[in-house]
Amino acid sequence: MLSIISVKGKCLEREGVGMKDRRRPISDAHAIARLEGYKAPEQNEVKRLSQKADVYSFGVVVLEVLTGREGADLPRWVQSVVRDEWTAEVFDQELLRYKNIEEEMVSMLHVAMACVVELPEKRPTMAQVVKMIEDIRVEVSPLGEDYDDSRNSLSPSLPTTEDAF
């Protein structure tokens, strides 16, 4: 599998475990095409940014992590696979090598799918997304429900765009 990582207008190609540094210019058209997969559907009609569009983009990133695939049409592909009840086929096989991770991955898949819902008003807020992810961490905590994770939580120190308004 070939991954391309953008670094200040250049590309690094990664094959297997070792990284080959073959820098080459990225065309503007190529860069724009890659960004299209992160764009919320409503942004094709309305050119202004919104928090709900950011939530959509975040959902695409989570899907990329879970599947090991790139963003272009990724939400539609995942929906079709999940609809056909082939959920295990969605996940990146590299992630499945870790023990006891599948339940957490399925939960994160649900979060991502909520983020990439077609209608923006049906998407959660970023604060709700953070809460869903924190709830997953509590559910799968190896220390059980009695463990107080509040001292280790990142969310209080991470302001959301909603906090600014």
Q: What is the pLDDT of residues 2-30, one digit of tens each?
A: 334 443 444 444 444 444 444 555 555 55
Measure the CA–CA gap between 78 and 87, rounded to whole angstroms: 8
* Residue 138, pLDDT score: 73
**74: three-class secondary structure by DSSP:** helix
Reported as a single tens digit per residue, the pLDDT across 53-85 is 999 999 999 999 999 988 678 999 998 888 877
Would you call 79 helix, strand, or coil by DSSP? Answer: helix
In a domain, residue 94? The reply is yes
In a domain, 8, yes or no: no
Domain holding 82, by residue range, is 50-141
Q: Which residues of 1-31 are buried (b: 16+ CB within 10 A; e: fewer)?
A: eeeeeeeeeebeeeeeeeeeeeeeebeeeee
Is residue 163 included in any domain, yes or no?
no
CB-CB contact of 102 with 96 (8 Å): yes
In whole angstroms, what is the distance from residue 78 CA to residue 140 CA?
24
Does residue 109 lie in a domain region?
Answer: yes
pLDDT of residue 160 exceeding 70: no
Q: Identify the residue whose tokens are 């709900």.
A: 52
Task: Give domain status of residue 71, yes or no.
Answer: yes
Q: What is the CATH number of the domain that holds 134?
A: 1.10.510.10
What pLDDT was estimated at residue 145? 45
Cβ 155 vs Cβ 134: under 8 Å:
yes
- Rounded mean pLDDT of 128-140? 88
Cα 23 from Cα 67, distance rounded (Å): 26
pLDDT at 29: 59
**Burial group, residue 75, by CB count within 10 angstroms (0-12, 13-18, 19+):** buried
pLDDT score, position 87: 72
H-helix or E-strand containing 19?
Answer: strand 19-20
16 Cβ neighbours under 8 A, 6+ residues apart: none
Statement: residue 151 has pLDDT above 80: no
Specify if 19 maps to a domain. Answer: no
The predicted-structure confidence for 97-129, as pLDDT tens digits, reads as follows 888 888 899 999 999 999 999 999 999 999 999
Q: Considering the chain, what is the average pLDDT of its residues?
A: 73
Give the pLDDT score at 49.
78
Total domain count for the chain? 1
Q: Give the pLDDT score at 102.
A: 87
Residue 160 belongs to some domain of the structure: no
Task: Quote the Cα angle for 87-132-66, to 5°.
Answer: 35
Cα distance between residue 49 and residue 99, in whole Å? 39
pLDDT of residue 81: 87
